[in-house]
A and B are shown apart, each in its own frame.
Chain A
Amino acid sequence: MQVLEPGIVFWILAVVILVSGFLVVTLRNMFHCALCLILCLFAVAGIYVLLEAEFLAAAQVLIYVGAVAILIVFTVMLTTDLASESLIQHNENATIAFVVCALFAIGVPYLITKTGVWMPAKGELISDNVGSIGKYLMTDFMLPFEVVSVLLLAALIGAIVLARKERS
């Protein structure tokens, strides 16, 4: 397949993503893990900007960095014994899991290079990103849009019911 050389910005973002992602799964202090996760999600938003998905980059920063990561930080702080360094955070599968994941990380790009030629599109991506997404949400994706609102309501009520203190 065709290989286009990306710019220096991509390499910086890729290094940030991979290093912070690796720290997320290896650090012992869960609070530091959450901070590394925030950095990683920011860098992924940068990748979206490189790929001309501006609305998705903004949504990533708002939803992931603004909501999900803060939620994770709160949970880490509420479950206090996690933040201690002395806890062993990995189970006995670590070695074999590392081998499997390394094979995955090497094997998938190898297979991608072997798949032959993908036809790259002729035209450019639609330039009016936000406007087009708004049109899609109100026409082609009307049903998923409404279903997702029901899903969010269900998640909201479910979280409140689960985390509520039982009165005895």
Chain B
Amino acid sequence: MFYYLALAAALFAIGLFGVLTRRNVIGILMSLELMFNAANINFVAFNKYIATDALVGQMFAIFIVVVAAAEAVVGLAIVLLIYRNWRGIGMDNVNVMKW
């Protein structure tokens, strides 16, 4: 089980690196998907090895997948809108909400 948790931690770190360093919105969204998957691996691994009497971990992971899909849909619609308004999706251009 330790190996699964270590794999999830490494995948989460990779996703965090992507979120912190990417310049465009689509790259950040893809890195977010990696982080969601790292969390899901943790849930399923704990379900397999620690709490086997119910499938609660897998249920939680399924709901995470659904919510991540909804998030991706809305996020990509916003990306299209940004592209249409600014002619580019670099995060550096999008600073109208900066105070």
Q: Contact: A79 with B79, CB < 8 Å?
A: yes
Residue of A nearest to B61 (CB): A56
Chain B residues within an 8 Å CB radius of A18: 7, 10-11, 14
Interface string of A104-130 (1 = CB under 8 A from B): 110011001100001111111110010
Chain B residues within an 8 Å CB radius of A55: 58, 62
Q: Contact: A102 with B55, CB < 8 Å?
A: no
Chain B residues within an 8 Å CB radius of A152: 66, 69-70
Q: Contact: B33 with A4, CB < 8 Å?
A: no
Count of residues in A whose CB is under 8 Å from the partner chain: 86
Tell which of A10, A51, A137 touches B44, judged by Cβ atoms closer than 8 Å: A51
| A85 and B73 alpha carbons, distance in the complex (Å) | 26
- The answer to whether residues A25 and B3 also contact, given A18-B11, A109-B9, A163-B77 and a CB cut-off of 8 A, is no
Tell which of A25, A47, A63, A122 touches B41, judged by Cβ atoms closer than 8 Å: A47
Q: Contact: A159 with B17, CB < 8 Å?
A: no
Q: Contact: B53 with A104, CB < 8 Å?
A: no
**8 Å CB interface, A45-91 against B:** 47-48, 51-53, 55-56, 59-60, 63-64, 67-68, 71-72, 75-76, 78-79, 81-82, 87-91
Q: Contact: A53 with B3, CB < 8 Å?
A: no
| A48 and B15 alpha carbons, distance in the complex (Å) | 19
Tell which of A2, A68, A102, A109 touches B33, judged by Cβ atoms closer than 8 Å: A68
Interface string of A143-159 (1 = CB under 8 A from B): 01000100110111011
Interface residues of A (CB under 8 A from B): 1-4, 6, 10, 14, 17-18, 21-22, 24-25, 30, 33-34, 37, 40-41, 44, 47-48, 51-53, 55-56, 59-60, 63-64, 67-68, 71-72, 75-76, 78-79, 81-82, 87-91, 93-94, 97-98, 100-102, 104-105, 108-109, 112-113, 118-126, 129, 132-133, 136-137, 141, 144, 148, 151-152, 154-156, 158-160, 162-163
20 intermolecular pairs with C-beta atoms under 8 Å apart: A3-B1, A4-B1, A4-B2, A6-B3, A17-B11, A21-B15, A37-B30, A48-B44, A72-B30, A79-B26, A79-B80, A90-B21, A93-B20, A93-B21, A101-B17, A104-B9, A105-B13, A109-B2, A112-B2, A126-B55
